[in-house]
Amino acid sequence: MEFDVEKYREDYPILSRTVAGRPLIYLDNAASTQTPRQVVNAITDMYENHKANVHRGVHTLSQEATAMMEETRRATARFIGASSTEEIIFTRGTTEAINLVASSYGQLLSEGDEIILSVMEHHANIVPWQLLRDRRGIVIRVVPMLADGSLDMDAYRSLLNEKTKVVAITHVSNVLGTVNPVAEIIRLAHEAGAVALIDGAQAIAHCRVDISALNADFYVFSSHKMYGPTGIGVLYGRRSLLEKMPPYQGGGEMISHVTFEHTTYADLPFKFEAGTPDYVGIAAFHTAISYMEEIGVERIAAHEEDLLNYTQQQMLTIPGMRIFGTAPGKSAIISFLIGNAHHYDTGLLLDKLGIAVRTGHHCAQPLMHALGIEGTVRCAMALYNTRQECDRFVESLRRVAAMLQ
Ligand code: PMP
């Protein structure tokens, strides 16, 4: 079946607006994807027809809202191939999910225990572990990368040892587009007796994720990068580990019984969901998952791969073009610099031509340091981008290159 991109584009009113007097070309999808009308309608429907606080109400609205939230949990578990809804915890985003694991699982670690990260991690998968290091005296080890931006697996193997307790590595780099061999990374972590957390923020909307096949212990991602509402994230956690872990935050919803002397906690997943969740967003997140399923994650991936190859080939004909991250099978993210032009200037000029890209260190300063640069311009594709947009992007880049060099 043909990938009818023009038909999908009609789902996104924002794609018909202009910026700087030109039709918007949105290529900042690694930061946030746009939201289809179906998801916006689901948010409106929740506010207009079902809004009531979840889980404690006997009244109809509360029961409807609760059912919608729990339906999303089931859909999320199915979407990632998790075996139980008890293993799906709603958070504010990837960042909160990693903080939850670092903070809670971290309490099971002792001084001298080691955690392995990679040089291409987002700050969200670095700083929570540093906070833990400062509290508990754990040691952080870092896997370097090879020249093409792929992970140095030999170095990874040599870092693993009996002190390794956690391996926390990104599935797809938000800068380089590198798709890491996470199944192998997890297998090796398990062999060493460690648990593995995979940061799926850049993978979840761009390839099929099957938790059972990967055998991940923790897998985290954000709704706003997968056509869903902002403010929602998911922590998948292996039940046997979540059961051992102490609560992350205390409050309503996460307790079984409270006295001033002693509190017992709710069962999974509620033990980790203190306070009123964003139940409106969670309900609408279900629509985002169904939307992706209807189009087909594999078909989206194939479309993006076509755009990636098409665009990258043309970009390389621009004098001075430097692309960072050329690992085989990379995701549809292109980080680049034009000669010595500042990334900020390139981004600003592209904006004047109606093109949205991201510039800067992309919350990956250690990676920038390893590359010997301060930042890049990043273009990242999504299901609604077209070859014509890529043509206009490359044409605009050519103009910008001529102006800046
Ligand atoms: N990890 C990666 C790889 C990311 O790209 C991002 C988002 N830029 C995050 C973590 C953080 O996600 P969020 O801001 O949604 O918590």
- Give the tens place of pLDDT for each residue, 122-173: 999 999 999 999 999 999 999 999 999 999 999 999 999 999 999 999 999 9
Please tell me the predicted confidence (pLDDT) of residue 1: 79
Please tell me the predicted confidence (pLDDT) of residue 261: 96
Residue whose Cα lies nearest atom 14 of ligand 1: it is 95
- Testing ligand 1's pocket by substitution, the residue of 29, 95, 206 carrying the most ligand atoms inside 8 A of its CB is 95
Q: Percentage of the chain with pLDDT > 90?
A: 99
Of 144, 191, 143, which Cα lies nearest the Cα of 168?
143
pLDDT at 276 over 90: yes
pLDDT at 57 over 90: no
Residue-averaged pLDDT of the chain: 97
Tell me what percent of the chain is helix, strand and coil, each rounded to the nearest 5.
Answer: 45, 20, 40
pLDDT, tens digit, 9 for 90 and up, residues 347-389: 999 999 999 999 999 999 999 999 999 999 999 999 999 999 9
How many angstroms separate the CA atoms of 214 and 143, rounded? 20
Q: Which residues pair with 166 in a beta bridge?
A: 115, 195
- The answer to pTM > 0.95 is yes
Using the CB atoms, write b or e for 173-194: b if 16+ within 10 Å: bbbbbbbbbbeebbebbeebeb
8 Å CB contact between 323 and 136:
no
Q: Which of helix, strand or coil describes residue 357?
A: coil
Q: Percentage of the chain with pLDDT > 70?
A: 100
Q: What is the DSSP string of 228-265?
A: S-TT-EEEEE-HHHHHHSPPSS-STTSEEEE-SS-EEE
- Testing ligand 1's pocket by substitution, the residue of 28, 90, 119, 122 carrying the most ligand atoms inside 8 A of its CB is 122
Which pLDDT band, with edges at 50, 70 and 90, does 288 fall under?
A: very high
Interhelix angle 387-404/297-315, nearest 10 degrees: 30
Please tell me the predicted confidence (pLDDT) of residue 389: 98
Using the CB atoms, write b or e for 29-62: b if 16+ within 10 Å: bbebbbbbeebbebbebbeeebebebbeeeeeeb
8 Å CB contact between 314 and 390:
yes
In the reported structure, the alpha carbon of residue 317 is separated from the centroid of ligand 1 by a whole-number distance in angstroms of 31
Please tell me the predicted confidence (pLDDT) of residue 381: 98
Q: What is the mean pLDDT of residues 86-114?
A: 98
Q: Which of helix, strand or coil describes residue 70?
A: helix
Task: Find the residues whose C-beta lies inside 6 A of ligand 1.
Answer: 31, 93-95, 122, 124-125, 170, 174, 199, 201-202, 222, 363
In the reported structure, the alpha carbon of residue 379 is separated from the centroid of ligand 1 by a whole-number distance in angstroms of 16
pLDDT at 405 over 90: no
Q: What is the mean pLDDT of residues 192-219?
A: 98
pLDDT, tens digit, 9 for 90 and up, residues 290-312: 999 999 999 999 999 999 999 99
Which pLDDT band, with edges at 50, 70 and 90, does 269 fall under?
A: very high
Q: What is the mean pLDDT of residues 23-50?
A: 98
What is the rounded (10 degree) CA torsion for 246, 247, 253, 256?
A: 20
| Half-sphere exposure at residue 177, Cβ-oriented, CA atoms within 13 angstroms | 27
pLDDT at 56 over 90: no
8 Å CB contact between 88 and 234:
yes
Residues 6+ apart with CB under 8 A from 317: none
- Which two tokens mark 236? 């998948």
How many angstroms separate the CA atoms of 100 and 279, rounded? 19
